[in-house]
Structure 1
Amino acid sequence: MSNLALTYGNQGRWGEAEELQVQVMETRKTKPGPDHPDMLTTMNNLASRTGMLRSMCDLAVTWEDQGRHLDALALMEEVAQGMQRVLGADDVGTRIALATVAKWRRLSLTMQVRT
C-alpha cells in the first residue's frame, strides 16, 4: 500500500496518495506497532505529502498573482481538501487554506458578474 501511495504521488494523484498513506500509517500503528522502524518511514512519507500540499499552495498563490484565477482556485481547493484529510480541520494551515478558497471564490464570482 505504501508503494502504491508513492506511485500515486509520482503521478500527481495527491489526494489518493495521501489517503492511502494515512491508511498505511494507521495500520502500522497496530501491526507491527507504533515503535517499529517502518512506522517512522510511513510518517516520513506522510510528511512529504504535506510538504507537497504546501508546495501546491505556493503554486496556487503564484497563479493567483499571475491572474490565473480559475487555475489557482481549483488547486487551492485541492490543497484545502488534502490538508483537512491529513492535518485536520483545526490545523491553522487548513483554516488558512479554507479561508483562501472562500475569498477566491467570492473574487471569482465578482469577476464573472463584471464580464
Structure 2
Amino acid sequence: MNYLASIYKEQGRWKEAEELFVQVMEMRERVLDVEHPYTLSSMANLAFTLKEQGRRAEAINLLQNCERLQMKILGIRHPDTLMTSTALISWQTERL
C-alpha cells in the first residue's frame, strides 16, 4: 500500500496518495507503534503529500511531530531526522 501511495505521489495524484498514506500510517501505528521508524517514515510521507496539496499548516504540524519523534528515536544525526529538519526549516521560512 505504501508503494502504491508513493506511485500516486510521483504521478501527482495527491488525494489518492494522501488516502493511502493515512491508511499506512494508521496501520503502522497500530501494528508497529507510533515510535517505529517505519511509522515515522509514513508520517513524513503524509506531511510531504499534504504540503504538495497546499495544506501547509497541516503539513508543518505533522512534520514537527515527526521531527520530535525522530530526534527521540533515531537521534539528531540520523539521515531521516536531518532530512525532516531541513524540510521543516524550509517550509517554515517560506513566504518570510
Q: How does 1:1-115 map to 2 (within 5 A)?
A: 9-10=29-30, 14=34, 18=35, 49-107=36-94, 110=95
The CA distance in 2 between the partners of 1:59 and 1:90, in whole Å, is 22
Q: Which runs of 5+ in 2 are unaligned?
A: 1-28
Q: For this pair of structures, how many residues does the alignment match?
A: 66
Give the TM-score of the pair, scaled to structure 1: 0.53
The CA distance in 2 between the partners of 1:53 and 1:93, in whole Å, is 9
The secondary structure found in structure 2 opposite 1:100 is: helix
Whichever residue aligns with residue 85 of structure 1, its letter is: K
The CA distance in 2 between the partners of 1:87 and 1:93, in whole Å, is 8
Give the TM-score of the pair, scaled to structure 2: 0.63
Following TM superposition, by how much is the alpha carbon of 1:65 offset from its aligned partner in structure 2, in angstroms?
A: 0.3
The secondary structure found in structure 2 opposite 1:89 is: coil
The CA distance in 1 between the partners of 2:59 and 2:72, in whole Å, is 20
The CA distance in 1 between the partners of 2:40 and 2:79, in whole Å, is 14
The CA distance in 1 between the partners of 2:45 and 2:79, in whole Å, is 16
Following TM superposition, by how much is the alpha carbon of 1:81 offset from its aligned partner in structure 2, in angstroms?
A: 0.8
Matching residue of 2:8: none
Which structure dedicates a bigger proportion of its chain to helix?
1
CA-based RMSD of the aligned residues comes to: 1.6
Equivalent pairs: percent with the same residue? 24
